[in-house]
Amino acid sequence: MCDGIDLAAINASFSTFQTPVAAQYAVNAIRRGYERGILRGSIQNDPICARITGYDPGNPLDVTLRMSIDAIAYCAEHMPRWHSTVVNTYILREAGTDAVQEMAFGLAVAFYYLTLARDRGVPIDASAPRFAIIAGLHNDFFEEIAKLRATRRVWAKYLSETLHAQDERSKAVTISVHTCGSTLPAQQPVNNITRSAIQALAAVLGGCRGLDLSCYDEPFNIPSEEAATVALRTHALLQHESGIARVADPLGGSYYVEELTDRIEERIWTVLGQIEEAGGIREAYDSGWIQQEIDLSASKLEDGIDSSEIPVVGKNCFNDDDTIDDLLPTGLTYSDPNIEQLEWLRSYKARRDRGALRDALQALVDAARKREPNVFEAMMAAMDAGATTGEVTGAVRVAYGEPFDPVGMIEAPVELR
């Protein structure tokens, strides 16, 4: 995937929860002669939000948390320019949380990872500067701006007062924004271009450090080339034509935005307090409380749209002209399975040195059985011996007493004890 690309010149963002992907990237970079310390980029490495939103049903949290926290420890020591963790509050929002829950749940998750890493011997000032958040951006313009501003305040206070960070970089969290696909209805999809542009404007005014837009065909499809290009051009005209990126925090001092920021901050602290009372984020998730809160908020929003109390232009109001529905092509087709890739993977697996693969995967199982060794390092060694991301996860699962494959379709490539 990275053939012909100078890895020293790029920032590679992996929009995946699979922690081993970061190990695989590092292994390939080292093979190509790069120092691991210069690698820039990010991986989501956020098993709790993945689990809450249904992205990772097969792996128990003990397994994924071990890989995640060890990745944080490894990156803090050896890959200091790499963002080891990007907490994904975007998917919490898309699952149905409101703005306050989105950030409160996400912050509780981030603080939990930082605490686990600290307990594993990683100083806060070694891990926190390489944490980031990817947030959603929903319809309520000023509430969303206030949400981003309040999140940075809560982060700074918690890092400073509770986790005792000293480094200023630990206290300033980077927030990227992905505009919420769930706000884009299937009715009159041309309006989604305008919607995403307004949301992106809020993201910039709220101080996002990275931004991408959901596309007008989001309700139907993986973005078409045309829809993705329109989203990129919207981004470009905000950045280059409008001049809004010229100054940081342009709404700072506005009586309305400051007041709203105060209120949202207070509400985020309240929810953080509720999570603490529930015994922490892990317990709040395990008990079903988080899921229940998400479902209640989702229902409230859906009921509001259904009763037209919450206006959605083209869907529950201004919906008398359906010619606008067909202004843009939005049909859905699926591509056929990529047989070539499957064949490549088969031949890749067949070419491996089975002895070396067995030794490295067994060493990973042995490392994961003990608390001390860093499994991220053992994962890298296994991948250097040819193991895939799925196989290293399988090996860690075996160490935790789980079957190699959660759905029982794949055998381990070598016998693991």
Partner 1 sequence: MTGHHENIKAVVAKIGLDGHYRGVKFVARTLADQGLEVVYLGANQTVEDVVDATVQEDARLVALSFLSPDYRQHVPELLGALAAAGVTDVVVVVGGLIADNDRPTLERAGVRGIFGPATTAADIGRFLDDAFPVVTAPGA
Chain positions contacting partner 1, by CB under 8 A: 53-57, 94-96, 182, 185-187, 219-221, 295, 298-299, 302, 306, 331-334, 407
Least spacing, CB of residue 292 vs partner 1, in Å:
12
Integer Cα distance of 62 and 67 in angstroms: 9
Rounded to the nearest 5°, which phi and psi values hold at 211? -150, 130
How many angstroms separate the CA atoms of 1 and 32, rounded?
Answer: 13
* Closest separation in Å from C-beta 332 to partner 1: 5
Residue partners of 224: CB distance under 8 A and separation at least 6: 215, 217, 329
Choose between 95 and 211: whose C-beta lies nearer to partner 1. 95
Furthest-apart CA atoms within the chain: distance in Å: 68
Q: Using the minimum distance from each CB to partner 1, give the nearer residue, 42 or 97.
A: 97
**CA distance linking residue 59 with residue 85, whole number of Å:** 18
Instruction: Select 53 or 261, whichever has its Cβ closest to partner 1.
Output: 53
SS3 212: strand
Nearer to partner 1, 56 or 377 (CB): 56
Whichever of 53 and 64 has its CB closer to partner 1, that residue is: 53
Pick the closest to residue 91 from 171, 27, 156, 17 (CA basis): 17
Per DSSP, 11 falls in state E
Q: CB-wise, 305 or 356, nearer to partner 1?
A: 305
Closest Cα partner for 368 from 387, 388, 395? Answer: 395
Sign of CA dihedral 90, 236, 333, 194: positive
Distances in Å between the alpha carbon of 372 and those of 67, 128, 357, 378?
A: 12, 22, 23, 12
Q: Find, among 406, 404, 407, 400, the residue nearest to 416 by Cα.
A: 404
Q: Which of 239, 251, 242, 243 is nearest to 149 (CA)?
A: 251
Q: CB of 295: closest distance to partner 1 in angstroms?
A: 6
Q: Cβ(84)–Cβ(245) under 8 Å?
A: no
Q: How far is the CB of 24 from partner 1 (least distance, A)?
A: 21
Minimum distance, C-beta of residue 408 to partner 1, in the bound complex (Å): 11
**Minimum gap (Å) between residue 390 Cβ and partner 1:** 13
Residue 243 vs 331, nearer CB to partner 1: 331
185 vs 394, beta carbon nearer partner 1: 185
CB of 413 to partner 1, least distance (A): 21
Number of other CB atoms surrounding residue 397 within 10 Å:
24
In the complex, what is the shortest distance from the CB of residue 329 to partner 1, in angstroms, rounded to a whole number? 12
